[in-house]
Amino acid sequence: MKLKPGDIVRVLGERGTSKVRSIQIDVNGALLEAQVGGFRRWNIDELRLVKRAKAGKRESEGNQ
């Protein structure tokens, strides 16, 4: 499953959850907003989706 910024994920074998801050395709990794297991950067294969980010309005669409 493809992750996107704002998704809440859990790291296999670690306690706690965190939001995805950015996806780094070139290294198959993700940067998290909070540390999980002492690290903020994890391999995408080690992450499991807990809750999908809500799709929100873009600022340019609402200010017409």
Q: Find the mean pLDDT for residues 26-55.
A: 92
* DSSP string for 6-43: T-EEEETTSS-EEEEEEEEGGGTEEEEEEEETTEEEEE
Q: Is residue 59 part of a domain?
A: no
pLDDT band of 57, cuts 50, 70, 90: low
In a domain, 12, yes or no: yes
- Supply the range of the domain harboring residue 22: 8-52
47 within some domain = yes
Examine residue 57 and state whether it is found in any structural domain, yes or no.
Answer: no
Query: How far apart, in Å, are the Cα atoms of 14 and each of 8, 9, 24, 36?
Result: 14, 11, 21, 7
Confirm whether 48 is domain-assigned: yes
Overall domain count for the chain: 1
pLDDT beyond 60 at 60: no
